[in-house]
Chain A
Amino acid sequence: QEAAKYGKKVMVLDFVTPTPLGNSWGLGGTCVNVGCIPKKLMHQAALLGQALQDSRKFGWEFTEEVKHNWMTMTESVQNYIGSLNWGYRVALREKKVTYENAYGEFVGPHTVKATNKRGVEKLYTAERFLIATGERPRYLGIPGDKEYCISSDDLFSLPYCPGKTLVVGASYVALECAGFLAGLGLDVTVTVRSILLRGFDQDMASKIGEYMEEHGINFIREFVPIKVEQIEEGTPGRLKVTAKSTKGNQIIEGEYNTVLLAIGRDACTRNIGLDKVGVMINEKTGKIPVNDEEQTNVPYIYAVGDILQDKLELTPVAIQAGRLLVRRLYAGAAIKCDYVNVPTTVFTPLEYGACGYSEEAAVEKFGEENIEVYHSYFWPLEWTVPSRDNNKCYAKIICNIQDNERVIGFHVLGPNAGEVTQGFAAAIKCGMTKEQLSSTIGIHPVCAEV
Chain B
Amino acid sequence: GKYEYDLLVIGGGSGGLACAKEAAQFGRKVAVLDYVEPSQRGTKWGLGGTCVNVGCIPKKLMHQAALLGSALKDAQHYGWNIAQPVHHNWSVMAQAVQNYVKSLNWGHRVQLQDKKVKYFNMKGSFSDPHTIRGLTKAGKETIVTAENIVIATGGRPKYPTHIAGALEYGVTSDDLFWLKESPGKTPLLYYPFILHLHEIIVCISLTDASPDVSLECAGFLTGIGLDTTVMMRSIPLRGFDQQMASLVTDYMESYGTKFLKRCFPTKVEKLESNRLQVTWKNTDLGTEETESFDTVMWAVGRAPETKTLNLETVGVKTNSETGKIIVDASEATSVPHIYAVGDITEGRPELTPTAIAAGKLLARRLFGQSSELMDYDNVPTTVFTPLEYGCVGLSEDAAVQCYGSDNIEVYHAYYKPLEFTVAERDATQCYIKMVCLREREQRIVGLHFIGPNAGEVIQGFALGIKCGATYPQLMKTIGIHPTCAEEITKLHITKRSGLDATVTGC
Contacts and interface: CB of A to CB of B under 8 A. Distances in A.
Interface of A: 28, 31-32, 36-37, 40-41, 44-45, 48-49, 51-52, 54-55, 57-63, 65-74, 76-77, 80, 84, 87-88, 91, 184, 314-317, 320, 338, 341-345, 353, 381-382, 384-385, 416, 418-427, 429-432, 436-437, 439-449
Nearest to A91: B505
B88 A61 contact: yes
B325 interface: no
B483 interface: yes
A447 B357 CA distance: 17
Contacts of A429: 464, 469, 473-474, 476-477
A317 B478 CA distance: 6
B466 A320 contact: no
Nearest to A48: B75
A440 B466 contact: yes
A73 B79 CA distance: 5
B104 to A, nearest CB: 9
B64 interface: yes
Contacts of A91: 504-505
Given A73-B79, A344-B480, A427 B72 contact: no
A443 B78 contact: no
Contact of A420 (B79, B460, B470, B474): B460
Contact of B71 (A37, A48, A61, A447): A48
A427 B368 CA distance: 29
A443 B381 contact: yes
B78 A45 contact: yes
Contacts of B71: 48, 51-52, 55
Nearest to A381: B60
Contacts of A48: 71, 74-75, 78, 80
Given A41-B422, A52-B75, A419-B483, A442 B464 contact: no
B459 A448 contact: yes
A65 B71 CA distance: 17
Contacts of A70: 79
Query: What are the 4 closest A-B residue pairs judged by CB atoms, nearest first?
Result: A423-B460, A59-B93, A73-B79, A422-B485
Contact of B457 (A41, A341, A422, A444): A422
A32 B64 contact: no
Contacts of B459: 420, 423-424, 442-443, 446, 448-449
Contacts of B328: none
For A341, A381, A426, the residue with the greatest tally of chain B CB atoms inside 10 Å of its CB is A426
A69 to B, nearest CB: 4
Contacts of A58: 61, 64-65, 68, 92-93, 96
A432 B418 CA distance: 30
Contacts of B483: 345, 418-419, 422
Nearest to A60: B88
Contact of A59 (B83, B96, B458): B96
B236 interface: no
Interface stretch (B162-170, B288-296, B299-307, B347-355): B347-355
B86 A61 contact: yes
Contacts of A442: 353, 380, 459
B478 A316 contact: yes
Nearest to B61: A385
B358 to A, nearest CB: 10
A101 to B, nearest CB: 18
A32 B80 contact: no
Nearest to B462: A440
A338 B478 contact: yes
Given A62-B72, A422-B479, A439 B466 contact: yes
7 contacts: A57-B92, A60-B87, A422-B483, A430-B467, A430-B470, A440-B380, A441-B357
B506 A419 contact: no
A63 B82 contact: yes
Contacts of B382: 443, 446
B81 interface: yes
A60 B72 contact: yes
B96 to A, nearest CB: 5
B422 to A, nearest CB: 4
B224 A59 contact: yes
A72 B424 CA distance: 14
A341 B489 CA distance: 14
